[in-house]
Amino acid sequence: MTMEGLSQKATILERIAAGDQTAVEDCLQQYGGLVWSLANRLLANATDAEDVAQEVFVEIWKKAKSFDAAKSSESTFVTLIARRRIIDRRRRGSAAVDTQSMSTVAFEIPEHAPAEPAELADEANKALDCVRKLSADQQKVIQLSIHQGVSHRGIAERLSMPLGTVKSFARRALLQLRECMTHPVLATSDGGTS
């Protein structure tokens, strides 16, 4: 089956598992708000929330093959990964973390109506445009981190960049992608979109 045929029938996670590069942008757009809101609400500071959000998407990329639509919805799968990463970060941040408070948090799982193929195509094109607006360095960092699952330290070594710079590029890129994806697509005079 071609990637095009796969993308019309498969879930985002199934497409990621099959190596569909456009599925990563779709995943960021579809679940970025959910992951960010959970991390931001349950962690002590924005830096931790940003780091965890990136870790969640790297883990989603790595574990997409283990997703089973018969056992859970895609949003439940993403939420469970986010919950585990948030708990891990809280444990690292405090030796006496209250795991009871984490288990009683109501994790909101949005119920989205299935999108039409035309809407999905528009969203995919928008995501691609948003990625193209990132700086070349940000694109490299996101590519290595999300597409290949390379750690921040590994990216720093591969690109000969300071670790702090890599983290900064990744954090800013995810924020820029999120911001870009929330803007409506505007039609231009030549019939295209912006």
Say if 93 falls within a structural domain.
yes
Cβ atoms of 18 and 10 within 8 Å: the answer is yes
Smallest Cα–Cα separation from 32: which of 47, 54, 48, 17? 54
Say if 163 falls within a structural domain.
yes
Distance CA 116, CA 107 (A): 27
pTM above 0.75, yes or no: no
Cβ atoms of 74 and 115 within 8 Å: the answer is no
| CATH number of the domain to which 99 belongs | 1.10.10.10
Rounded to whole angstroms, what are the CA distances from 134 to 85, 98, 130, 161?
Answer: 26, 38, 7, 17
Quick: pLDDT tens for 106-146.
Answer: 444 444 444 555 555 666 677 778 888 889 888 888 888 77
In this model, does residue 85 exceed pLDDT 70? yes
Coil, helix or strand for 76? helix
**Choice between 185 and 146, residue whose per-residue pLDDT is larger:** 146
What pLDDT shows up at residue 95? Answer: 40
* % of the chain at pLDDT higher than 70: 72
Say if 193 falls within a structural domain.
no
* % of the chain at pLDDT higher than 90: 3
Retrieve residue 137's tokens.
């360095």
Structural domain containing residue 172: 10-182
Say if 189 falls within a structural domain.
no
Say if 120 falls within a structural domain.
yes
Q: Is 71 exposed, middle or buried (0-12, 13-18, 19+ CB in 10 A)?
A: exposed
What pLDDT shows up at residue 124? Answer: 67
Say if 34 falls within a structural domain.
yes
What is the domain count for the chain? 1
Say if 188 falls within a structural domain.
no
- Which residues share a beta bridge with 193? 187
Quick: pLDDT tens for 68-80.
Answer: 888 888 888 888 8
What pLDDT shows up at residue 109? Answer: 44
Say if 85 falls within a structural domain.
yes
